[in-house]
Amino acid sequence: MKLLSLFSGCGGMDIGFEGQFVCHRKSINTNIHPDWIIEENDDWVTVAPTIFDTVFANDIRPDAKAAWVSYFGKRKKDANDIYHLNSIVDLVKQVKEGKKVFPKNIDIVTGGFPCQDFSIAGKRKGFNSQKSHLGGALTEYEPSVENRGQLYMWMKDVITLTEPKLFIAENVKGLTNLDDVKEVIERDFAQAGEGGYIVVPAQVLYAPEYGVPQSRERVIFFGFKKSALTEDAKKALMSEQIPKEYNPYPEKTHGQGLKSIVTCSEILADLVEPEETTDPSQMKYSRAKYMGTHCQGQTEIKLDSVGPTIRSEHHGNIEYRRLSLEHGGKHIEELERGLTERRLTIRECARLQTFPDDYQFILKKTDQNKSVSASEAYKIIGNAVPCVLAYNIAKNIEEKWNIYFGEE
């Protein structure tokens, strides 16, 4: 199945949707999904591939493209050509000018339209963002419909142009608390394409309940092309209570009554200190000084629980792996062994986002793409969808594809 990925970033959603990546054994509940693991290596497992293949990706960040191409280049010979370093606004305009931009016969579109204007960590301008589609401040000459807070409308345009059977949009939980923003977005998406889409009521997914060792909440929108659905699927998806066999939202795999949540201790256990590793992503961490509890990012992780939300931040706002006693550190045993205060490394942040260890984030410049620094790596990791969460979504859709669309 051909997948078109929008606002792709460094590819957390794309990795999850393609599968066949390495994650921690505890992230997969084999009591519920016994066929998801195809290879085992102590605490680490390789998950099964899916039916989805990313044939188009885009973003405006050169560092995100460099990282995406570095990882997917091991799987796809044309990875650099697949990833388009263009704003979605410019891509749509190119199509309307008669240029061929998007591949034909797209089955599914995914996209995490920019969340800064809906996030509680930002200024919450929502649809009235003062940022342009390229990320800079709006000028008086730019149409307001091209502001960052309305880029979902351009995603709707891509859906109209490519007519996928299904689209999946992702954003921060804060979007659901802004007046009627969620309902407006659902209504706008439903009008995409000829004949429209059934957009099921958006839900918030809590990442730890799907095997992700991080307190992260994301709202997910599913839209099904009406004309592609079977009559039974159409009726089920439009019902007030969607039957389980048609529900696009994956069932929880971790938490109360299920497999225990994955903790920081479990996901980080085999990592050595930055001074002892050869992994460039584990060597690099923010050296920003402690700024006090009144500032964001000045707490240490709790080893016996899930990690904090990995934000798209840099240096001074990156949480601590451990604090000193002077700053309220609780990891006494580590401190007594002589381990010192430091913030989370790039690799530790990536693991909390369930990126596989063969994804390298600290990159040198190539003929095709720019270098990626530690500061840039922190940002693109924080922007990503956790790979394991995306995998849960993908596998649920894969398992139900035939009953939705009647395809064998």
- CATH value at residue 388: 3.40.50.150
Q: Which among 115, 264, 349, 387 is annotated as catalytic?
A: 115
Phi, psi for 268 (deg, rounded to 5): -110, 0
Question: d(Cα 273, Cα 269) in Å, to the nearest integer?
Answer: 11
Residues 200 and 286 in one domain: no
**pLDDT confidence of 148, banded at 50, 70, 90?**
very low
The length of the chain, given as a count of residues? 408
Amino acid letter for position 399? E
378 in any annotated domain: no
- Mean pLDDT of the chain, nearest integer: 91
Longest dimension (CA), the chain: 66
The residue ranking higher by pLDDT, 128 or 359, is 359
Residues 277 and 149 in one domain: no
DSSP class per residue in 353-390: TT--TT---SB---SSS--B-HHHHHHHHHTSPPHHHH
Residues 353 and 396 in one domain: no
Token pair 């799987």 in the structure block, residue = 75
Question: d(Cα 282, Cα 124) in Å, to the nearest integer?
Answer: 33
Of residues 292, 286, 271, 290, the one with CA closest to residue 347: 271
The residue ranking higher by pLDDT, 127 or 337, is 337
Of residues 254, 300, 299, 272, the one with CA closest to residue 357: 272
Which helix (H) or strand (E) segment holds residue 206: the answer is strand 197-206
Amino acid letter for position 208? P
User: Tell me, what DSSP letter sits at residue 237?
Assistant: H
161 in any annotated domain: yes
Instruction: Output the pLDDT for position 237.
Output: 98
Lowest mean pLDDT among 169-173, 273-277, 384-388: 169-173
pLDDT at residue 393 is higher than 60: yes
Lowest mean pLDDT among 133-147, 178-192, 234-248, 373-387: 133-147
Residues 160 and 297 in one domain: no
Residues 104 and 227 in one domain: yes
Residues 17 and 165 in one domain: yes
Instruction: Output the pLDDT for position 6.
Output: 97
Question: d(Cα 224, Cα 196) in Å, to the nearest integer?
Answer: 9
Q: 3-state DSSP: the chain helix, strand, coil percent, rounded to 5?
A: 35, 20, 45
10 carries an active-site annotation: no
**pLDDT confidence of 126, banded at 50, 70, 90?**
very low
194 in any annotated domain: yes
The residue ranking higher by pLDDT, 110 or 311, is 110
List, for residues 232-270, the tens digit of each pLDDT value. 999 999 999 999 999 999 999 999 999 999 999 999 999
List, for residues 60-100, the tens digit of each pLDDT value. 999 999 999 999 999 999 999 999 999 999 999 999 999 99
- The distance in angstroms from the start CA to the end CA of the chain is 12
Residues 194 and 269 in one domain: no
Lowest mean pLDDT among 27-41, 132-146, 199-213: 132-146
17 in any annotated domain: yes
Select the highest-mean-pLDDT range: 144-148, 150-154, 267-271.
Answer: 267-271
Quote the percentage of the chain above a pLDDT of 70.
90
Query: pTM surpassing 0.85?
Result: yes
The residue ranking higher by pLDDT, 309 or 174, is 309
Instruction: Output the pLDDT for position 124.
Output: 36
pLDDT at residue 122 is higher than 50: no
Residues 34 and 60 in one domain: yes
Question: d(Cα 261, Cα 388) in Å, to the nearest integer?
Answer: 13
List, for residues 8-62, the tens digit of each pLDDT value. 999 999 999 999 999 999 999 999 999 999 999 999 999 999 999 999 999 999 9
List, for residues 166-189, the tens digit of each pLDDT value. 999 999 887 777 667 888 889 999
Lowest mean pLDDT among 161-175, 205-219, 323-337: 161-175
Instruction: Output the pLDDT for position 149.
Output: 53
288 in any annotated domain: yes
201 in any annotated domain: yes
Q: CB neighbours (10 Å) of residue 172?
A: 23
User: Strand pairing partners for 47?
Assistant: 37
> Which range of residues forms the domain containing residue 97?
2-257+384-405
Residues 109 and 76 in one domain: yes
323 in any annotated domain: yes
Instruction: Output the pLDDT for position 36.
Output: 98
User: Tell me, what DSSP letter sits at residue 147?
Assistant: B
Residues 297 and 204 in one domain: no
Contact call for residues 3 and 53 (beta carbons, < 8 A)? yes
- Where would I find the beta strands (DSSP E) of 14-106? 22-24, 37-41, 44-47, 53-58, 83-84
Residues 195 and 270 in one domain: no
Of residues 168, 297, 285, 269, the one with CA closest to residue 213: 269
For the chain, the domain total comes to 2
Question: d(Cα 283, Cα 288) in Å, to the nearest integer?
Answer: 15
CA 28 to chain centre: 18
375 in any annotated domain: no
Phi, psi for 203 (deg, rounded to 5): -130, 155
Please compute, for residue 96, the number of CA atoms within 13 A of its CA located in the half-sphere on the CB side: 10
Q: What is the mean pLDDT of residues 383-391?
A: 97
Q: What is the mean pLDDT of residues 362-379?
A: 97
Residues 237 and 142 in one domain: yes
